[in-house]
Amino acid sequence: MFADKRDLRKFHVFAVVILAFALGLVWYINRTGAKLADPIKAENLKIVKNSYEGAVLHTSEGEIEIVFLRNLATTTVINFAKLAASNFYAGTKFHRVIPNFMIQGGDPLSKGEDRRLYGTGDPGYFFKDEINGEEFIKGVAAMANRGPDTNGSQFFIVTAPAAPWLAGKHTIFAKVIRGMDVAERISNASRDKNDVPLIPIIIENVVLK
């Protein structure tokens, strides 16, 4: 029994729809699911966790020292430490600054000159949130993200007295213990309509302590 032309057309349309869905699924997995991973190798976890208490961010505006909350955000701290140890952050910028709110940095794409890309970069993977009971008050450092479980390399430091609306949405992993005046000065830098500083504010290096 042979199909008529209408049946063949229906089959072709159905095949095209299935193919488009499959291609879309592959793209989605590559863009999201395949990137969601634990960036921490088990054999390195104990060494990194126990070796560093915090870090000093050497910026073009001065130094900001943070102390890690290792017991509250273990994976996040280790991820930050490993990126810092590999000089991942060297040359990145504080690409987003908002007075009396926060400063954001850690995007590898901010090393370039195309401001349209600032805020879209990551280290090549995402890892899960570690929401804890720390309050979003001045001086806390937390991970920037694109939604649940999309942590990578970008982070921000709160310069507002408090930002309670961020609770439950971002992982706090450190606190500023020195250089809060530097962070506040950065947050007040002249910026464009997208909150990108007009004069680049560079993270020259992050030194673990």
Q: How many helices (H) and strands (E) does the chain have?
A: 4, 8
DSSP annotation of 6 reads H
DSSP annotation of 173 reads E
The single residue of 95, 166, 173, 191 carrying the catalytic annotation is 166
The single residue of 145, 151, 154, 155 carrying the catalytic annotation is 145
Which is it for strands 202-208 and 92-98: parallel, antiparallel or unpaired? antiparallel
The single residue of 45, 88, 101, 146 carrying the catalytic annotation is 101
The reply to whether 88 belongs to the active site is no
Which H, E and C letters describe 34-62, residue by residue? Answer: HHECCCCCHHHHHHHHHHCCEEEEEECCE
The reply to whether 69 belongs to the active site is no
The single residue of 68, 69, 79, 104 carrying the catalytic annotation is 104
The reply to whether 166 belongs to the active site is yes
The reply to whether 156 belongs to the active site is yes
DSSP annotation of 189 reads S
The single residue of 58, 70, 170, 191 carrying the catalytic annotation is 170
Which is it for strands 92-98 and 140-143: parallel, antiparallel or unpaired? unpaired
The single residue of 68, 96, 127, 154 carrying the catalytic annotation is 96
The reply to whether 154 belongs to the active site is no
The single residue of 80, 126, 156, 173 carrying the catalytic annotation is 156
Residues with a catalytic annotation lie at 96, 101, 104, 145, 156, 166, 170
